[in-house]
Structure 1
Amino acid sequence: MIREDATIDSGALYDVANVLGMSDQQVRLCIKRLIADGQFTQEGRGRKALLRATNRVRSTITPDREYVRYMYAQDTGSAPWDGVWHLVAFGVPESVRAARDAMRDAITRLGGAPIQGGLYVSPNRWEGLISAAATEFGVGRHVATLTTTDLSVGGVDAPRELVDRLWPLDQIAERHRRLLVVAERSLSALRTASPTEHLTIAIELAAEFTQAVEPDPLLPPQLLPQPWVGTTARAAVAACWAELLKSGRQPIRLFRWYADVIAEVSQTATSDRTASSLPAADHCV
């Protein structure tokens, strides 16, 4: 509910929390904790108060725009797979188990699938992110990366069959099916929603979107069953974001960021299609 000026209207916060089943007392306790922790300051009291995010919080609430940008670029066909598999191997000593576990978690968050102990693969270029994670956890000298266009796992080498074998496509698809249901319901409800309902729908949509996309390895469309429900669900969410920005009220910062990213991707995709349809220069009269 953080708006573009990094504030939250307490009255709206109470109203939305009530709709979601929280009491006023629970909301007050949550606000007190946020203020005590230095995440927000408060101007005024009760439902008329204005909560303002501190600089510490402002630096952490920006979503991973590059992740969202790449996701929608894949959906629009602007980021096709180049046929290269990207692998990372690591052998971190038992003496630094915490760092080893952190590195493994980072690799799986980046969409890596395990091939065998300490060896993971992704169809996406991730070397920079892997290097950053290895540096953060102090295990850089125990990590190796490589690329190949000739990957075989257990006798399987066809790219689509490898994806079926290595990633839980059914689970990924099911999360996006739930997202699609929520997005379609939200889009219909937003057109006639009251201000409180508007914010409630936005929060529920954001929560479902996070549950669907955070564990998504962003596999290229060329390697997925078609039509892919993830593409359909994310298009429905984008329509909701656009509808959320039509209200005329100060928009929630998160949805403005997402809408801006989608607009950038759509413009790039349109430009690419236009350029590809133009005749070559040496054929022009």
Structure 2
Amino acid sequence: MTIATEIPTRTLVESLVREDATIDAGELYDVAAALGMSDQQVRLCIKRLVAEGQFTHEGRGRKAVLRATADTRGVLEPDLEYLRLMYAQDRGQAGWDGVWHLAAFAVPESQRTARDGLRDAIVGLGGAPIQGGLYVSVHAWEDRIRSAAAGLGVAGQLTTATTGDLEVGGVTAVRALAARLWPLERLAAGHERLLASAEHTLRTLPSADPTECLTLAVALAAEFSRALEPDPLLPPELLPRHWVGTTARKAVAECWVALDSAALPPIRLFRWYAGVVADITATT
């Protein structure tokens, strides 16, 4: 079995947290070996995570058990609402209302850290820069941006607005605007890689042993996160027709269904993904 996806050791460890917040070290070392990681590489990563207070460590070697701390458990959960919206859009169940959401800020150099933090929060929510300090999204993000600005101490320097009419550099057609504002070619390339990973998983799963199943699931989850992290979840009305992201995510959903029935250990991340797919399927 060949896995082309590059997976950081930390990502591997975090991916194998079970529903009881533990990691079976033997399972971890087996999957790491299948991904081409050495035991020493895994041991060093575990040592760092324990030193950072992310995990506790009980026992030795492959018989050890790692346990995620409360803080770690809190940050490992994916944004389930984001995933539900993603699949709802793909299935035509969440159309766009035609509203553009704008956010602008003017934070002085003396508050550079806060300025950078607010910009990162806006971009992380899918915002595209129009010009200096002005960003746009197709989603209602106001509450989350205001919360981020308040946390950074710059709430008074944030402006939000909505409009049904947006023109950038003379462009008004919504698909042309989306292509101008967001890096659609790069997003498409990420989803092409995701589609290839999903197709490989579907081909390989029927003959895979338990360790191979886990390895496939970890690699797919990593590629899924890599493709989705920069994705602003533009509605179909703004995307090129036959958008590869829709095809890739449909294939990934089929993988989670197949993996969920493959008697995998109760891994938290995989159960979350399978649960989202089940929720969306139940509404169709």
Quote the residue 1:132 is aligned against: 147
**DSSP-derived class of the 2:26 partner:** helix
- In structure 2, the gaps of 5 or more residues are 1-15
| Runs of 4+ that moved beyond 4 A | none
| Cα separation, 1, equivalents of 2:52 and 2:183 | 39
| Structure 2 match to 1:122 | 137
- Does the CA contact (< 8 Å) of 2:214 and 2:264 recur in 1? no
Give the structure with higher Rg (CA). 1
Structure 1 unaligned runs (5+)? 271-285
The alpha carbon displacement at 1:261 in A equals 1.6
Aligned to 1:59, the other structure's residue is in SS state helix
Matched residue of 2:84: which SS? helix
**Structure 1 residue 207: Cα displacement:** 1.1
Q: 1:223 aligns with which of 225, 233, 238?
A: 238
Three-state SS of the structure 2 residue aligned to 1:236 is helix
1:24 counterpart = 2:47: no
Equivalent residue for 1:96, pick from 88, 108, 111: 111
Which residue is 1:162 aligned to? Answer: 177
Residues in 2 aligned to 1:252 and 1:239: alpha-carbon distance in whole angstroms: 18
Q: Give 1:78 shift.
A: 1.4
Q: Which residue of 1 is the match for residue 11 of structure 2?
A: none
Which residue number in structure 1 is paired with residue 102 of structure 2? 87
- Give the one of 3, 6, 9 matched to 2:24: 9
Q: Deviations over 1:149-176 (max 9, x none)?
A: 1111111111111111111111111110
Q: Is the CA contact (8 Å cut-off) linking 2:213 and 2:264 kept in structure 1?
A: no
Write the letter of the residue equivalent to 1:142: Q
**What is the identity, as a one-letter code, of the residue corresponding to 1:139?**
V
Relative to the length of structure 2, the TM-score reads 0.91
Q: C-alpha displacement at 1:232, in angstroms? A: 0.7
Identical residues among aligned pairs (%): 65
Separation of aligned partners in 1, 2:264 and 2:100: 46
Q: In the comparison of the two structures, how many residue pairs are matched?
A: 269
Determine whether 1:199 maps to 2:211. no
C-alpha distance in 1 between matches for 2:35 and 2:193: 19
**10-19 or 141-150, which deviates more:** 10-19
The letter for the 1-side match of 2:145 is: I
User: What SS does the aligned partner of 1:41 have?
Assistant: strand
CA distance in 1, matches of 2:41, 2:133: 45
1:229 Cα deviation (Å)? 0.5
- Letter paired with 1:37: E
Q: Which residue matches 1:262?
A: 277
**How far did 1:95 drift?**
1.0
The aligned amino acid for 1:188 is: R
C-alpha RMSD of the superposition:
1.3
Whether the 8 Å contact between 1:244 and 1:251 is mirrored in structure 2 is no
Residue identity matched to 2:39: D
Alignment of 1:175-194 (within 5 A): 175-194=190-209
User: How many Å apart are 1:241 and its aligned residue?
Assistant: 1.0
Check conservation: 1:245, 1:251, Cα contact below 8 A.
Answer: no
For 1:51 and 1:171, how far apart are their aligned partners in 2?
37
The amino acid of 1:259's aligned partner reads A
1:229-244 equivalence runs, <5 A: 229-244=244-259
SS of residue paired to 1:60? helix
Per the TM alignment, residue 234 of structure 1 is displaced from its structure 2 partner at its CA by 0.6
Question: SS of 2:76's equivalent?
Answer: coil
Deviations 1:174-217 (Å, cap 9, x if unpaired)?
Answer: 11011000111011111211111111111111111111000001
Map of 1:281 onto structure 2: none
1:69 aligned partner, one-letter code: R
Say which SS state the counterpart of residue 176 (structure 2) adopts.
helix
Q: Is the 8 A contact 1:191 1:243 kept in 2?
A: no
